[in-house]
Structure 1
Amino acid sequence: MIKPIRNENDYEAALARIDEIIDAPSGSPEADELEVLGILVSDYEDMAEPIGLPSIPDAIRFEMDRLELEQKDLIPYIGSRAKVSEVLSGKMRPTLRMMRALHKNLGIPAEVLLQDPDAVFPHDRIGLDWQKFPLREMAKQGWIEGRGKTLADHAEEIMRSFIGRAGGMSAIPEPVFRATDSPRQNARRDPYSVAAWCLRIMSLAKEAPLQNEYKPGSIDLDFLRHLVKFSSVPSGPKAAVEFLAQYGVQVIFENQLSRMYIDGAAIMTPQKKPVIGMTLRYDRLDNFWFCLFHELAHIGRHLDKGDSIFVDDLSLRLPLNDDADKKEREADEWAEEALLPSSAWREHPVSQTPSTQNVLDMASRMRIHPAIVAGRARYKSNNFRILARQVGQGQVRGLFL
């Protein structure tokens, strides 16, 4: 009885039966059986070993012959006569941009161009110019691989891989690309540099996740008031970062790229984990503590309620800047009150006479680092020349970078 061939055992049995009846006379029942078995074996072999996809050069040449095209006719799709020659010779794999153009204009299937029977082109994100990312600088920092022209030619592929390490396309920090009239946004800021840095922070967080999970609502003013006490101990910044890790809040330090102009960011990753990124562009303790607390306030007051990212240039935070964004003001309020309560500040002589002696006295009374008091005095007086020796210059980067 002839049965369908469903697996290797059925296949081997069919071959053995074919050997037995291979010489069956024409017109006999065995000859009919031999014909049917031959069809079944052939179908199974095609299913088990499908015909491979043609190579990309062969597929292009086939369409060139069909459409009667010459190599120069491919320049609009591939970019130059030299690149056309490299693609047709197999020396260069077409970029995604080239593949899309060849698919659209020559009709070559995506699965052939991508050399994957089940492949489709990734969504071509409208409004995002892949080549505007600072690829050379990212490669120099060791964030991505590649150099020279290959970076520009394969910008989309490189960035898609980079974004994938951060958590996928949903990780792209959309707000940094939106133009606003906020006084907290530096007009010289390059959104592509900022986006790349934020993605780097997310990828590092994803590569080394914390053991403890963050519980929404755990960061409030009391939490921050407890955290500020770490400022008075040796290596206070490291102790604070380690303490935050116990509560599922990751703090990552990474050098900034050119044209970023930011101190830090509060990010809710695609994995719904809060991460604080810091550049330490100002290597001072006063800047470190305020930036850390400002970003923590964003987590407690805003990320917990659905926001995804805040990127901050604290140099634009000036006492007379009353028109600042509401959420930035809210983060300022928590940071200021936690680091040094306004009532205590007003009652101490340092608020009127910002001398070194007064700074040290108040720091001792509040059990916090003098740099926090000095930083408040410089900010409130809008005079950043005073107390330069009390702000902890050069005491942070060496701990983390």
Structure 2
Amino acid sequence: MTNGQNVGVDPPGVYIKMELEARGWSQRDLAFILGQTEQQLSPMLSGKRAITPDMARLLGDAFDMPAQFFANLQSLYDLSNAKSPDPAVRTRATLQTTYPVRDMIRRGWIEDGEASLLQLQIERFFEVANDDAPSRAVAFAAKRTHYDETPPHQLAWVFRIRQLARQIKVPAFSADRLRAALPRLRALMVEAETAREVPAILAECGVRFVIVEVLPNAKIDGVCTWLDDEAPVIGMSTLYDRLDNFWFVLRHEIEHVLLGHGKATAVGMIDHLVGEGASEGNDVAQEERVANLAAADFCVPRQKMDSFYARKHPYFSERDVVGFASLMQLHPGIVVGQLQRRMGRYDYLRKYQVPVRRHVIERAVTDGWGQAVKADL
């Protein structure tokens, strides 16, 4: 195949006749050797009948050659006469290799259709500029995040956050208003239900808030991303649907917003805040360490937590934990989350790890868990 066009290949019979001539055999001689009549052999030699696997083995014995040689002659001839494949097949294969196309279609982020339409939707979804090659969209974005390499499933999630955020109308962003709103947010941490107020409070400060369910196998908690470098967006997955995780991730992303982290990247700060991702050690990137410290201190003031831990360790009674949470004006699940992380015991008082997603999505722009938001590409 050259330049995408089929090259004509002679039928296998042509090569068999050439071999007969080279050996000085006639068609009748070959029929005799094969134990067939000339009438049976003629359609194969004229290209009207294909060489079957059985015939390939017979010809191999007759000419003392591998049977595969004759099978290959037939295969090449068949391929040369096969219909040219639809170019859309290669396009869809390239797209699926680079992007999680099927998962995006399943979630309603893009529509299934002709390959050219799929490619156009992908370009728009990933905000590919006219001078950027579509095939480089994910790689381009990944290089400009704070990760060395960001999986396509995570990047698709971030761009879905950005896509939905553009539909939310909020006033101009004010870092001062956001800082002033922190006590109001902190006051919501007594009950799981009050988390529903978060989207409205953030909107008042000019911060768009979106919740999107992750794609399969994508480990991601949140993102701080910017629209046109001036409009911050906080996206969350509620991958771990626990009250303590929700508030830690939220405050972490708020700190990114307040410090302008992620403005210089294509998609912002992508976070998976479990294990080392929630660490405050020097091995964590400076931007993440600062955000982790702010989140931990917001959830339970560090000095208070350190004091409680030192006094009660290693025996933390349920009564002590609930009493300390009440003193801190927090839901017990938030204190339990910090204790679990410190002790490395994630089974400890698990009953206080209440879900929060169902409350937040009541008033947040949400995609996933059986519902999809229509967004124009």
Q: Judging changes above 3 Å, is the alpha-carbon distance between structure 1 residues 386 and 216 closer, same or farther for their aligned structure 2 residues? A: same
State the 1:259 CA deviation.
2.9
Structure 1: runs of 5+ lacking an equivalent: 1-68, 74-79, 98-127
State the 1:242 CA deviation.
1.7
SS at match of 1:277: strand
Match of 1:212 in 2: 171
| 1:313 aligned partner, one-letter code | H
Match of 2:120 in 1: 157
Structure 2 residue 268 is matched with structure 1 residue 309: yes
Q: Which of the residues 349, 352, 364 maps onto 1:390?
A: 352
Match of 2:152 in 1: 192
| 1:158 aligned partner, one-letter code | Q
Q: Is the CA contact (8 Å cut-off) linking 1:190 and 1:260 kept in structure 2?
A: no
Match of 1:281 in 2: 239
Structure 2: runs of 5+ lacking an equivalent: 8-80, 362-368, 370-377
Root mean square deviation, CA, Å: 4.0
CA distance in structure 1 between the partners assigned to 2:257 and 2:291 by the alignment: 9
Match of 1:293 in 2: 251
Q: Is the CA contact (8 Å cut-off) linking 2:100 and 2:152 kept in structure 1?
A: yes
Structure with larger RCO (C-alpha < 8 A, sep 6+): 2
TM-score (norm 2): 0.63
Q: Judging changes above 3 Å, is the alpha-carbon distance between structure 1 residues 158 and 342 closer, same or farther for their aligned structure 2 residues? A: same
Q: Which of the residues 207, 215, 240 maps onto 1:257?
A: 215
Structure 2 residue 87 is matched with structure 1 residue 134: no
State the 1:224 CA deviation.
2.7
Q: Is the CA contact (8 Å cut-off) linking 2:222 and 2:237 kept in structure 1?
A: yes
CA distance in structure 2 between the partners assigned to 1:303 and 1:365 by the alignment: 33
Match of 1:380 in 2: 342
Percent identity, aligned pairs only? Answer: 24
TM-score (norm 1): 0.59
| 1:377 aligned partner, one-letter code | L
CA distance in structure 1 between the partners assigned to 2:169 and 2:138 by the alignment: 22
CA distance in structure 2 between the partners assigned to 1:354 and 1:82 by the alignment: 73
Moved more, 233-242 or 278-287: 233-242
Q: Judging changes above 3 Å, is the alpha-carbon distance between structure 1 residues 258 and 305 closer, same or farther for their aligned structure 2 residues? A: closer
State the 1:131 CA deviation.
3.9
Q: Is the CA contact (8 Å cut-off) linking 1:176 and 1:191 kept in structure 2?
A: no
Q: Judging changes above 3 Å, is the alpha-carbon distance between structure 1 residues 154 and 203 closer, same or farther for their aligned structure 2 residues? A: same
Q: Which of the residues 314, 325, 335 maps onto 2:295?
A: 335
Q: Judging changes above 3 Å, is the alpha-carbon distance between structure 1 residues 176 and 397 closer, same or farther for their aligned structure 2 residues? A: farther
CA distance in structure 1 between the partners assigned to 2:130 and 2:160 by the alignment: 11
Q: Judging changes above 3 Å, is the alpha-carbon distance between structure 1 residues 284 and 249 closer, same or farther for their aligned structure 2 residues? A: same
Q: Map 1:2-401 onto structure 2 (within 5 A).
A: 71-72=5-6, 82=83, 131-146=97-112, 150=114, 156-164=119-127, 177-178=142-143, 191-207=151-167, 209-220=168-179, 223-233=181-191, 235-270=193-228, 272-303=230-261, 309-316=268-275, 317=277, 322-348=282-308, 352=313, 353-392=315-354, 394-397=355-358, 399-400=360-361
